[in-house]
């Protein structure tokens, strides 16, 4: 009578050994991946919010793990700025104060770039796929060829539920989900506690060339984006932030295709280069974008009722200035590398769940083509 019991016990022992082996392999693989991400460090800076900023030599950053970029380690060709884009000397002061880690007064040495240290594979993880409950309140422009986009966006600290995020960004894209050849470049700010830790809004960038299947990543977490700036760190907390019916704080981002070599450059503020995505990363986006999108996005992972995760300020678009989140002075770059305002009739608003998050598109002489967006999520009209 004891024999079946022995067989069952042996079965569980075998299962335990298999599970332990799989976990060991998984942990070992994660360690290898983390070693690839975290490069040799020249200097370390501790941020007040607990982030660790590693100053890494320019030529040691992840992008140069790509064989096709080996020759760009020492030869950096700066881009041709779009016509109509006015740079300013005010940006240096702004970039030294808009991220929390720089408040200590320390900075990365010349010849290095700042990278937030990654300690877990949750941070490494790719963007949630569209089937995972994404909801949007956005405005888009399509029907032409686009070589860049520019937006001013104010920064808020929306409340998020567990395993969810809330962001504001602009997308440049080409290709389709159906064809699995969707290419995107995405930049903005994001609140994502499970990824970064804490509830601070953070500067982020993302890219993919196969509809989020297996290529692309956030920030500098895989070979791709080439950073040239030593004062701006992707994933670092933004400060100060906007307050309801109070002071507003905004960031300005522009992405455009350099007509000289086809790379897609990213700038911050009035004339500060952050870096570029090499044209070799892309397929359908190699030539130009055919869709520009601006606005808010959240992930709703709730199964019983709508999420309470907020978008933007957590208030609806109708509340307007200093109360609702804002994108303003929207612009696009054409094939002649000229930056122009987006005409209001070309901008089409879209909201998946307007009772949860909505959008209102406007135009005037102060903010140009602009819109308010956002909302509280779960409320009496959004149960």
Alpha-carbon distance of 166 to 53, in angstroms, equals 24
Identify the residue whose tokens are 């406007």: 362
Query: Both tokens of residue 83?
Result: 């016509």
Beta bridge pairs of residue 210: none
Phi, psi angles (nearest 5°) of residue 102: -85, -5
| Strands, sheet with 348-351, edge to edge from the N-terminal-most edge strand | 217-218, 202-208, 183-191, 166-174, 289-299, 134-146, 348-351
Is 64 within 8 Å of 16 (Cβ atoms)? no
Query: Both tokens of residue 59?
Result: 């030529």
Alpha-carbon distance of 181 to 215, in angstroms, equals 11
Is 239 within 8 Å of 139 (Cβ atoms)? no
- Chain-centroid distance of CA 166 in Å reads 11
Q: SS3 helix, strand, coil % of the chain, rounded to 5?
A: 20, 35, 45
Nearest to 358 by CA among 316, 319, 315, 313: 316
**DSSP H or E segment with residue 171:** strand 166-174
Residues annotated catalytic, as ranges: 186, 297
């Amino acid at each position: 009578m004891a024999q079946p019991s022995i067989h069952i016990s042996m079965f569980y022992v075998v299962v335990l050994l298999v599970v332990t082996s799989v976990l060991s392999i998984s942990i070992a693989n994660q360690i290898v991946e983390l070693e690839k991400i975290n490069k040799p460090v020249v200097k370390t800076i501790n941020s007040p919010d607990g982030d660790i900023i590693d100053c890494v030599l320019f030529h040691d950053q992840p992008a140069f793990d790509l064989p096709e970029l080996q020759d760009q380690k020492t030869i950096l060709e700066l881009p041709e700025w779009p016509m109509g884009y006015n740079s300013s000397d005010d940006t240096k002061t702004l970039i030294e104060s808009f991220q929390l880690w720089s408040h200590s007064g320390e900075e990365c040495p010349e010849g290095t770039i700042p990278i937030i240290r990654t300690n877990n594979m949750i941070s490494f993880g790719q963007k949630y796929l569209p089937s995972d409950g994404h909801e949007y309140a956005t405005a888009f422009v399509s029907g032409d060829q686009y070589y860049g986009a520019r937006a001013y966006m104010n920064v808020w600290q929306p409340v998020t539920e567990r395993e969810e995020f809330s962001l504001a960004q602009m997308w440049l894209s080409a290709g389709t989900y159906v064809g699995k050849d969707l290419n995107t470049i995405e930049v903005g700010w994001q609140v994502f506690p499970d990824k970064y830790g804490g509830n601070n809004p953070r500067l982020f960038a993302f890219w993919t060339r196969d509809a989020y299947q297996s290529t692309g990543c956030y920030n500098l977490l895989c070979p791709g984006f080439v950073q040239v700036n030593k004062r701006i760190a992707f994933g670092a907390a933004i400060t100060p932030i906007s307050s309801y019916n109070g002071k507003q704080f905004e960031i300005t981002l522009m992405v455009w295709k350099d007509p000289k070599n086809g790379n897609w450059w990213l700038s911050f503020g009035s004339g500060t280069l952050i870096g570029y995505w090499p044209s070799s990363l892309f397929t359908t986006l190699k030539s130009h974008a055919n869709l520009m999108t601006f606005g808010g996005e959240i992930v709703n992972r709730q199964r019983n009722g709508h999420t309470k995760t907020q978008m933007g300020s957590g208030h609806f678009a109708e509340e307007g200035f200093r109360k609702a989140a804002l994108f303003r002075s929207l612009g696009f770059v054409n094939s002649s590398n000229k930056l122009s305002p987006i005409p209001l009739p070309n901008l089409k608003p879209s909201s998946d769940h307007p009772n949860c998050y909505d959008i209102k598109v406007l135009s005037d002489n102060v903010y140009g083509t602009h819109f308010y967006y956002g909302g509280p999520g779960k409320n009496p009209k959004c149960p």
